[in-house]
Amino acid sequence: MKLFFAVLLSTPLFIESQEVDAGDILFLKVQELEGEISALRSELESQAYLIDKLLNENQSKVEINNTVDTQAQVAENSFRFEGINDGQSIDEVYEQAISQLNNKNFEDAKKSFVYLADNFSDDEKIPLSLFWLGEISLLESNLEQSETFFQLLAVNHPDHWRTPLAHKKIGDILMMSGELGAAKIKYQFVVQTYPNNAASSLALQLLENME
């Protein structure tokens, strides 16, 4: 009988112990889940950071590539006037130089004509550029440089229609420099070589004035 009562007395304690153990397990499970959720949240944040970083890097690469492409396009457009001897480029540079000359912007016109003469090959516009370079230098009272340009025209383009006048201009420079004998010889050369050219008439008139 005593044993029976002892069992009865101990039974509630056993049930209560089971209930406490189940609560502890549930609490641990909740803590474990919270830990897993926290870990997942951290992993998601890390992945989000990496994704943002990759997107920013890709955007930077796109911007750099766009910049490079733009620079390449600008370089290509500029290169069009450096060594590519196409008619459109020659016309554009020459028209710009003539416009600057008409506006009495002699410094810029001179640069444009020099650029044209140095970078292109054209039987009409290169001789004309040399002629105008000689004229601009003459206006600037740079007689030596002016004579050089006229000489380049006369020697490199002997059949150009401006060549007779270039020879006459060289005679003018010689006269301005006080070399009257050399100037007279040059004028005589123009009269004899280009008898039907307007430059010959001008040279002949100067020869008559020198008598």
pLDDT of residue 83: 46
Residue 55 or residue 145, greater confidence: 145
Tokens of 62: 């796109």
Q: How far apart are CA 62 and CA 54, in angstroms?
A: 12
Place of tokens 């040059």: 186
d(Cα 105, Cα 121) in Å, to the nearest integer? 24
Residue entry with tokens 């304690």: 13
CA distances from 161 to 98, 108, 112, 188, 198 (A): 18, 25, 22, 18, 11
Q: Which CATH architecture has domain 87-210?
A: Alpha Horseshoe (1.25)
CA dist 75 to 72, 79, 82, 94, Å?
Answer: 5, 6, 10, 21
Question: pLDDT tens-digit profile of 118-128?
Answer: 999 899 999 99
Q: What is the pLDDT of residue 53?
A: 56
What is the per-residue pLDDT across 138-192, written as a single tens digit (0 to 9) for each? 999 999 999 999 999 999 999 999 999 999 999 999 999 999 999 999 999 999 9
* % residues pLDDT > 70 (the chain): 58
User: Which residues lie below 8 Å from residue 169, measured CB to CB, with a gap of 6+?
Assistant: 134, 135, 138, 146, 150
With a pLDDT cut of 90, the percent of the chain lying above it is: 55
Alpha-carbon gap, residue 87 to 97, rounded angstroms: 15
- The structural domains of the chain, with segments of one domain joined by +, span 1-79, 87-210
User: Of 53-57, 79-83, 93-97, which range is least confident?
Assistant: 79-83
User: Over 60: is that where the pLDDT of 107 sits?
Assistant: yes
Question: Tens digit of pLDDT for each residue in 8-27?
Answer: 344 444 444 444 455 555 55
